[in-house]
Amino acid sequence: MSKINIKYLAKELNLSISTVSRALRDSHEISGETKKRVFDLAKRLNYQPNSNASGLRGQKTKMIAVVIPDMVNDFFSLVISGIEKVTQEKGYHILLHFTHGDHELEVSFINTLASGRVDGVLLSMSSEDNDSHHLAELNSSGIPLVLFDRVSECVSNVKVTSDNHESSVLATHHLIEAGCKKIAYLQVHKNIPVGKVRMNGYLEALQQYSAQKVPLVLECTNDNDETFELIQKMLVAEKPDGVFASVEKLAVVCYRVCEKMRLKIPDDIKIISFSNLHTAALLNPSLTTITQPAFDIGETAAKELFNIINKKNRTLAGDNNNVVLQSRLIKRRSTARY
C-alpha cells in the first residue's frame, strides 16, 4: 500500500502536518525554503494527495459527472471529446454514466451525485421528460448542473444546444428543393424537447414550402431490427420520395432497407439525416447530413460548467441561460437532384 501521505512527509521533514499541507498548496504563510524542501520530497516520493480525504474536507473532488444516454452514435463520442479537452486543461476528471434512455437510472444516478461525489454535472437527458424532479433536487444540493442537447424545459439551468428547429426546416426545405414531393420523417424520442423541436421544423417546412399537405411521420423504436421492419413497411405502403431521419442510426437502418428493397438513392428516394457520422462522405451513396457541432457542444457545456463551479457567473449564455450553436447542412449525393 502506498503510505506516502502528508503525515509521512511531515515526519520525514520534521515539520507539522499543517505546514506541509500549506506548503503543498503554495500558501503565502510558508517560507520559500520550506516550500522547496516539501516540494522536493513530495516529488521524490511521488506523493499523490488522497482525493477522498480532500474531497471530504474541502468539498472539491476535481471530478465532474457526464451523464448521457449511451454511446452508440458518433455524436456523444465527439461531445465527450470536447468535454475532455476542457477537463484536461482544468485538471479535472470525468465520471461517465450511461442512462440507456432509462429515466429511472437517470434519477437514481443523479441522486447519487447529490451527495458530493463530483463538483459538477453535465447531463443529456434520457427519453422521458415529464419528470425533472431529480434535477430540482440536484440543484438544491448546490451542485452545478449544465444540460446539453437533450435538455429539459422544466429547469432553469444553463443549456447548450444546437439550432435544431432551423436545421430541421433547412433539411426539409433542402429535400423539397431537390424535388421531393412526399417526404417521410423518421422519428424517435418524441417525448423530449429536441425530438419535438426537430419534428416541428419538418412540419413547418412542409406547410411553408411544400405541396405535401399531409405529413408522413414514422415512429421508430430503439430496436434496430424492429425499426427495419417499420421503415420497410412504410416505404412499401407510402412510397415516399424523400426521407428525413431525425437521428443518425435511423438513416443507417434506412440505407439497409433501401438496399434490400433495391431502391436507388438518390434516384428513387432521397435521404437526409441529423448525423455526426465521420464516414458520411464515404457511404454508398454519400449521405447528406445536418451535422451538429458535437465537439463544440461538449467543449462549451464544460466551459459553462466550470464558470459556475468557479463562481465566475459570466456565462456565454444570455439571460435565458441558453447557448445555441450552429449546425451545418452538408450536401452530398443522397439528396442529389438526380
Partner DNA sequence: TTTATTTACGGAAACGTTTGCGTGAAAAGA
Partner DNA sequence: TCTTTTCACGCAAACGTTTCCGTAAATAAA
Q: Binding string to a second copy for residues 190 to 229, with x set by CB under 8 A, is what? A: ----------------------------------------
Q: Residue 135: is it exposed, middle or buried by C-beta count within 10 angstroms (0-12/13-18/19+)? A: buried
**146 pairs with which residues across the strands?**
122, 158
- Phi, psi for 167 (deg, rounded to 5): -60, -40
Contact 69, 103 (CB under 8 A): no
Residue with cell 465527450: 80
Position 146, amino acid = V
Per rule CB under 8 A, is residue 332 in the interface with a second copy? no
Grid cell, residue 249, equals: 442510426
Tell me which of 55, 139, 190, 217 binds a second copy, using CB under 8 A. Answer: 55
Per rule CB under 7 A, is residue 16 in the interface with DNA? yes
Q: Which stretch binds a second copy (CB under 8 A): 20-28, 49-57, 158-166, 234-242?
A: 49-57
Q: Cα-atom radius of gyration of the chain, to the nearest Å? A: 25
Q: Which stretch binds DNA (CB under 7 A): 13-21, 68-76, 171-179, 231-239?
A: 13-21
**Three-state secondary structure call for residue 157:** coil
Contacts 24+ apart (CB under 8 A), 236-240: 236/261, 238/182, 238/184, 239/182, 240/180, 240/182, 240/183, 240/184, 240/216, 240/269
Q: Binding string to DNA for residues 50 to 89, with x set by CB under 7 A, is what? A: x--xx-xxx-------------------------------
Per rule CB under 7 A, is residue 141 in the interface with DNA? no
Q: Binding string to DNA for residues 98 to 137, with x set by CB under 7 A, is what? A: -----------------x----------------------
Q: Which stretch binds a second copy (CB under 8 A): 6-14, 26-34, 66-74, 320-328?
A: 66-74
Least distance to a second copy, CB of residue 11, Å: 18
Distances (CA, A) of 54 to 51, 58, 158: 5, 5, 28
Per rule CB under 7 A, is residue 143 in the interface with DNA? no
Q: Which stretch binds DNA (CB under 7 A): 4-12, 220-228, 273-281, 288-296?
A: 4-12
In terms of residues, how long is the chain?
338
Per rule CB under 8 A, is residue 322 in the interface with a second copy? no
Tell me which of 141, 200, 315, 322 binds a second copy, using CB under 8 A. Answer: 141
The C-alpha atoms of residue 49 and residue 207 are separated, in whole angstroms, by 62
Tell me which of 14, 33, 130, 142 binds a second copy, using CB under 8 A. Answer: 142
Q: Which stretch binds a second copy (CB under 8 A): 88-96, 191-199, 311-319, 323-331?
A: 88-96
**289 pairs with which residues across the strands?**
273, 330
> Which uninterrupted H or E stretch holds 183?
strand 183-187
Give residues in contact with DNA (CB under 7 A): 3, 5-7, 14-19, 21-22, 24-25, 29-31, 33-34, 47, 49-50, 53-54, 56-58, 115
